[in-house]
């Protein structure tokens, strides 16, 4: 017999299989909730955009635009690119939908997939997922600190530890131009010793020299001039304001002059949250201010800032640190049956249970009773009802608590839902701490 060839997933992509997906839900629930606590509303944007959007915003000298974009040509002279990040499309959508006229600041968040043709390794994928936030129309240093505080809150609520917040200021176009010259003057005598990429960066984007991973280049960059010494008065005051506000919120940080970010739109504050627990790709969150981007993309001049977290890196760090994930939902009631009439009753009971909000299942593959019980065990059903001809006749069946093995009689008539609900409630009170404290807090409120 000819065997069909197995097609594997593309390099640098991941599957989230049902047994693992609850980990994603844990992170997604927390980020949505935290974003809403800080006043951010969700935005959804297309997976692909006109290529020019990324070239103009991310920048044509960046690695992302030069080497990593998945671009497809289309009919006519337009090309489209799978989004390598979420900021450009979000700002495009905000301008296009007139959202900046609805009162400022505007605060949006997104959960989306991004695509970069990078060399895949642990923590570096070709399709990855970001939770990101963008705040538009707030120029004050407290806006920077508040945005950083949201990222800090998410990491804390997920139980992550030892994540260091690195901050820097890369100034405005005026003060950065002077710094760029100072960097060029510093690196020029070392041109021949630099790696090929950095030789190119020296001409096009000297700030990126500070970010090179090569040990030789890092040694050369050790005594390079630092941006904070070149900040103009306004940029310096802004950076002091950000630090002061972080202090007020009790958020620890280190000032790291090597944080320059890999995307061109940034101005003033830039920051990264870095973990040491997942290897070389330890930046779990990166962001900063980008006061020129809205205007660059055709909107009215609007200060803005934001960040994005790499969800795969967050999950890797949570796993490495043994953080807790929310529990997978398990079946509340499995309705086992023997015989045709009982099978029909099982369908009816499961449907009624689902209408009440319970998770209920019954046999769909024609298994015998023993195999049905095995299946109920496998799906970790909390309760099983067994129905056969005699149960149909008497109108009463056995309800088995699968954790304790305890069996009680339960009426199959009108009282079924109420009786099951009462037993379920008692069981949850005695076994589920979260449920018990929820019920107790409700009772306290009523007193
Ligand atoms: P970014 O630093 O390019 O910034 O990406 C943000 C985060 O996405 C990184 O810190 C990392 O956790 C994750 N990430 C990036 N590339 C990969 C990859 N190949 N595999 C896995 N995870 C990755 C931005 O994208 C900006 N748009 C952030 C921003 C929003 N700045 C202002 N607003």
CATH number for the domain harbouring residue 131: 3.30.930.10
Same domain for 90 and 39: yes
Average pLDDT on 225-232 reads 96
Same domain for 267 and 410: no
Containing domain of residue 340, as a range?
A: 333-436
Which of 11, 113, 128, 136 gets mutated to test ligand 1 (max ligand atoms within 8 A of its CB)?
A: 128
Average pLDDT on 150-154 reads 98
What is the per-residue pLDDT for 240? 98
CA of 379 to the centre of ligand 1 (A): 37
Average pLDDT on 129-155 reads 98
What is the per-residue pLDDT for 2? 74
**Cα gap 112→128, rounded to integer Å:** 8
Same domain for 290 and 349: no
364 compared with 77, residue with greater pLDDT: 364
What is the per-residue pLDDT for 16? 97
Give the residue whose CA is nearest to atom 13 of ligand 1: 310
Same domain for 356 and 246: no
Q: Which of 270, 286, 321 is the last residue of a domain?
A: 321
What is the per-residue pLDDT for 61? 87
Q: Which of 263, 295, 321 is the last residue of a domain?
A: 321
Return the ligand 1 atom nearest residue 125 CA.
20
Domain membership flag for residue 165:
yes
**Residue at token pair 């991004």:** 114
Q: Name the DSSP letter for residue 41.
A: E
**Residue at token pair 């009440």:** 356
Which residues' Cβ are closer than 6 Å to ligand 1? 85-87, 116, 118, 123-125, 128, 130, 132, 134, 262-263, 283-288, 306-310, 312-313
Percent above pLDDT 70 for the chain: 99
Same domain for 299 and 161: yes
CA of 100 to the centre of ligand 1 (A): 25
**Residue at token pair 């790709």:** 281
Which of 279, 310, 314 gets mutated to test ligand 1 (max ligand atoms within 8 A of its CB)?
A: 310
Average pLDDT on 412-424 reads 95
**Cα gap 116→64, rounded to integer Å:** 7
Residues with Cβ within 8 Å of residue 109, at least 6 apart in sequence: 31, 32, 35, 40, 41, 42, 43, 131, 132, 133, 134
Q: Name the DSSP letter for residue 281.
A: -
Same domain for 398 and 362: yes
**Cα gap 210→189, rounded to integer Å:** 16
The per-residue b/e assignment along 358-392, b for 16 or more CB within 10 angstroms, e otherwise, is: bbbbbbeeeeebeebbebbeeeebbbbbbbbeebb
Give the residue whose CA is nearest to atom 29 of ligand 1: 307
Q: How far is CA 352 from CA 305, 369, 386, 407, in A?
A: 50, 22, 16, 21
Give the residue whose CA is nearest to atom 21 of ligand 1: 124
Q: Which uninterrupted H or E stretch holds 261?
A: none
What is the per-residue pLDDT for 434? 87
Model confidence pLDDT, tens digit, residues 335-384: 999 999 999 999 999 999 999 999 999 999 999 999 999 999 999 999 99
Domain membership flag for residue 407:
yes
Q: How many domains does the chain have?
A: 2
| CATH number of the domain that residue 376 is part of | 3.40.50.800
Q: Which of 271, 301, 321 is the last residue of a domain?
A: 321
Domain membership flag for residue 141:
yes
**Cα gap 42→44, rounded to integer Å:** 7
Return the ligand 1 atom nearest residue 130 CA.
8
CA of 310 to the centre of ligand 1 (A): 6
CA of 128 to the centre of ligand 1 (A): 9
**Cα gap 132→286, rounded to integer Å:** 9
**Cα gap 93→284, rounded to integer Å:** 26
CA of 285 to the centre of ligand 1 (A): 7
Average pLDDT on 158-175 reads 97
CA of 119 to the centre of ligand 1 (A): 15
The per-residue b/e assignment along 134-157, b for 16 or more CB within 10 angstroms, e otherwise, is: bbbbbbebbbbbbbbbbbbbbbee
Give the residue whose CA is nearest to atom 22 of ligand 1: 310
| Phi, psi (rounded to 5 degrees) for 225 | -60, 155
Same domain for 140 and 254: yes
Same domain for 306 and 339: no
Number of H helices, E strands in the chain: 16, 16
Its pTM stands at 0.94
């Amino acid at each position: 017999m000819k065997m069909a060839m197995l097609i594997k997933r593309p390099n640098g992509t991941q599957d989230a299989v049902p047994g693992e997906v609850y980990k994603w839900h844990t992170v997604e629930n927390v980020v949505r909730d935290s974003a809403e606590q800080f006043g951010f509303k969700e935005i959804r944007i297309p997976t692909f955009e006109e290529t020019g959007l990324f070239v103009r915003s991310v920048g044509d000298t960046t690695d992302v635009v030069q080497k990593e974009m998945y671009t497809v040509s289309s009919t006519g002279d337009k090309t489209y690119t799978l989004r390598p990040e979420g900021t450009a499309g979000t700002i495009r959508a905000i301008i296009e939908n007139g959202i900046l006229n609805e009162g400022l600041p505007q605060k949006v968040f997104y959960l989306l997939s991004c695509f970069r043709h990078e060399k895949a390794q642990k923590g570096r994928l070709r399709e990855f997922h970001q939770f990101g936030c963008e705040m538009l129309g707030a120029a004050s240093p407290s806006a920077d600190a508040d945005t950083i505080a949201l990222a800090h809150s998410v990491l804390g609520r997920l139980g992550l530890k030892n994540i260091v917040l690195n901050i820097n200021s890369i100034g405005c176009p005026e003060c950065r131009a002077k710094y760029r010259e100072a960097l060029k003057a510093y690196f020029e005598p070392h041109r021949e010793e630099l790696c090929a990429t950095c030789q190119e960066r020296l001409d096009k984007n000297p700030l990126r020299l500070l970010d090179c991973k090569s040990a030789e280049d890092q040694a050369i960059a050790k005594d390079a001039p630092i941006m904070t010494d070149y900040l103009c008065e306004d940029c310096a005051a802004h950076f002091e304001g950000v630090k002061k506000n972080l202090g007020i919120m009790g958020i620890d940080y280190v000032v790291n002059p090597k944080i320059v970010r890999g995307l061109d739109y940034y101005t003033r504050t830039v920051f990264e949250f870095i973990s040491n627990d997942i290897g070389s790709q330890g930046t779990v969150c990166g962001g900063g201010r980008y006061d020129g981007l809205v205007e660059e993309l055709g909107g009215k001049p609007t200060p803005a800032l934001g960040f994005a977290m790499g969800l795969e890196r967050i999950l890797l760090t949570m796993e490495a640190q043994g953080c807790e994930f929310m529990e997978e939902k398990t079946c509340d009631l499995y309705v086992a049956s023997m015989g045709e009439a009982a099978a029909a009753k099982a369908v009816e009971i499961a449907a009624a249970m689902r209408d009440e909000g319970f998770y209920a299942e019954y046999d769909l593959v024609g298994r015998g009773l023993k195999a049905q019980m095995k299946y109920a065990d496998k799906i970790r059903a909390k309760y099983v009802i067994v129905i056969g001809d005699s149960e149909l006749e008497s109108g009463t069946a056995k309800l088995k608590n699968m954790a304790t093995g305890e069996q009680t009689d339960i009426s199959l008539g009108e009282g079924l839902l109420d009786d099951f609900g009462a037993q379920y409630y008692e069981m949850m009170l005695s076994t589920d701490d979260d449920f018990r404290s929820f019920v107790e807090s409700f009772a306290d409120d009523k007193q």
